[in-house]
Structure 1
Amino acid sequence: MDPLSDKLFSARLSDLLSQSERNGCAVFSPFLDERQCAEAEAWCRRNAGGMCYTLYGGYDGARRKMLAFYPDYCQDFIMDEFPMVCLTFTFRKEDKLTHRDFLGSFMALRLKREVIGDIITDEGNAQAFVTEIAAKDIMSSVSKIGRIGVRITDEQPFVLEHEQEFKEIGGTVASMRLDCIVGLAANISRSNAADLIRGEKVDINHFTVTSVSHELKEGDILSIRGCGRFILSGIDGLTRKGRIHINLRKYV
């Protein structure tokens, strides 16, 4: 986030927290993307005080989530209170529909991205988490995704599993510095990797890092604009020449 966006986002969180404290009830944000979730988590640790908070996207492992602030007496039922709906779409198995197809159809209704959570697709069916208001718009207006006819219901529980596919990348680097690992991930020179980093085009764990000497550790998530997202999945020791063998998993 740029400084202005960061201040506006913090102000939104502060307003939600104040509403919850003032009214003594649960208050919910729209859907947040992964970077906003990380920002919100950090902000809440510093500022939530005696209020409880939870990030939830409808299922374990969701990427897009809502943030809830609430008093402690709400803890036993807060997960059922999130104002989101799971929509289930069915269509012919021979018709292939992607996440992009669904998102495009939703956005064509002039819905904002913040009212749409995760969309998981499978053969012949898909499920999407959306706000309650967006669910009404979609169910009343959508009969096709692209040119493919679909049936929609809000009465089925979430059953699809999001199986993330990866491409394995292995190689050696001189050190665990960010410029070295970006070079391997993007298959570019170390100097070009440094340009990307200084140009604010590289995120670590959803936060922009501009230091080329920042050191990564196993499990870190690396995002490179225009190249993709990677997990540093393994550090496998040294070669005879003292280079470090690492494994990356690229999201596909």
Structure 2
Amino acid sequence: MNVNVYQHFRKEEHSFIDLVKDWQEQVEMQYAPYLTDFLDPRQAYILETLIRQNGELKFKFYGGYEQAERRRALIFPDYYIPEKEEYNINLYEIIYPIKFGMLSHGKILGTFLSTGVKRESLGDIISDGERWQIYIKGEIAEYFHLQIKKIGSLPVRLEKRNYTDMIVAKDEWSLEHTTVSSLRLDNLISNVYNISRQRSKQLIDSGKIKINWTECTRPDFTLDLLDIISVRGFGRIQLKAIEGKTKKEKYRLLLGILRK
């Protein structure tokens, strides 16, 4: 791996860069496609950046539906034509007694991860307010089907669905432009939710912030392209584009915002 590549990414992302390099080498040596686990948008951006530097390889992303946030990547030789079935993604609906309680994204994810699998095995979790569905890596879907019998205190069962049975998600992202003095985590949270920097630091210190599904307790964490920030009790933010700077050296940003 060219050392110069690392300087464009965070230190904690270097291990993922090495992983992508290994995938590339495997495709080149075996002349066969390689299918990744589910990637978050930031990981997908890194993978795309690296593979575009290799003219002999191509890639495509798919997460079970066109607007998916978490997607699997297929890396393949330039002559190969992939089919959607190769992404091996299963859609399951979580059946539960609605009259006895409600599910939530956090409860569902926590229950699935408590079985010992990694987040990378799971795609998007979607809901219309009552019904819940989840995209799962096909290689281990049957394992979840056998393991998941309760979420919280509610009895549940997983039923496989065709893609045509996908529910229409209730959550709606809005696109918003803003300017910020820096790309610090506490600064962006303060700007988006119109709260004080002190309040945003309290949220971060109390473990209520995740960046790309990993808890972050650093107010000075520098955000980058396609990061997703989850703010418990407020919603989520995605840094969709850094559109340059103003005359006063402020960053112009395009954000995707999901408000609770």
Scaled by the length of structure 1, the TM-score of the pair is 0.70
1:91-116 deviations in Å (ceiling 9; x for gaps): 23333111111111101101111111
Q: How many residues align?
A: 215
Q: Which residue of 1 aligns with 2:65?
A: 59
Following superposition, the deviation at residue 163 of structure 1 comes to: 3.5
> Could you tell me which of 31, 35, 38 is aligned with 2:38?
31
> Could you tell me which of 16, 19, 25 is aligned with 1:12?
19
Amino acid of the structure 2 residue aligned with 1:22: M
Question: Which one has a bigger Cα radius of gyration?
Answer: 1
Distance in 2 separating the partners of 1:16 and 1:247: 32
Q: Which residue of 1 aligns with 2:195?
A: 187
Amino acid of the structure 2 residue aligned with 1:178: S
- Confirm or deny: 8 A CA contact 1:88 1:153 kept in the other structure: yes
Q: Which residue of 1 aligns with 2:4?
A: none
Q: Which residue of 2 aligns with 1:218?
A: none
Scaled by the length of structure 2, the TM-score of the pair is 0.68
Distance in 2 separating the partners of 1:205 and 1:26: 27
Moved more, 101-110 or 178-187: 178-187
What do you get for the CA RMSD once the two structures are aligned?
3.7
- Confirm or deny: 8 A CA contact 1:203 1:224 kept in the other structure: no
> Could you tell me which of 76, 87, 93 is aligned with 2:92?
87
Cα 1:62–1:45, aligned 2, differ >3 Å: closer, same or farther?
same
Amino acid of the structure 2 residue aligned with 1:17: Q
Following superposition, the deviation at residue 128 of structure 1 comes to: 1.0
Following superposition, the deviation at residue 204 of structure 1 comes to: 4.2
Q: Which residue of 2 aligns with 1:240?
A: none
Cα 1:166–1:73, aligned 2, differ >3 Å: closer, same or farther?
closer
Q: Which residue of 2 aligns with 1:206?
A: 226
> Could you tell me which of 120, 125, 130 is aligned with 2:126?
120
SS of aligned partner of 2:112: helix
Q: Which structure 1 segments of 5+ residues have no match?
A: 208-221, 234-245
Following superposition, the deviation at residue 225 of structure 1 comes to: 7.2
Q: Which residue of 2 aligns with 1:138?
A: 144
- Confirm or deny: 8 A CA contact 1:56 1:66 kept in the other structure: yes
1:183-230 deviations in Å (ceiling 9; x for gaps): 53243369x99xx9x9543424335xxxxxxxxxxxxxx848787644
- Confirm or deny: 8 A CA contact 2:127 2:168 kept in the other structure: no
- Confirm or deny: 8 A CA contact 1:29 1:67 kept in the other structure: yes
Distance in 2 separating the partners of 1:153 and 1:203: 38
Distance in 2 separating the partners of 1:223 and 1:40: 20
Matched, 1:40 2:60: no
SS of aligned partner of 2:45: helix
Distance in 1 separating the partners of 2:74 and 2:29: 15
Following superposition, the deviation at residue 72 of structure 1 comes to: 3.9
Moved more, 12-21 or 119-128: 119-128
- Confirm or deny: 8 A CA contact 2:41 2:69 kept in the other structure: yes
Distance in 2 separating the partners of 1:168 and 1:154: 33
- Confirm or deny: 8 A CA contact 1:30 1:115 kept in the other structure: yes
- Confirm or deny: 8 A CA contact 2:129 2:170 kept in the other structure: no
Distance in 1 separating the partners of 2:34 and 2:66: 21
Q: Which structure 2 segments of 5+ residues have no match?
A: 1-8, 205-217, 241-252
SS of aligned partner of 1:49: coil
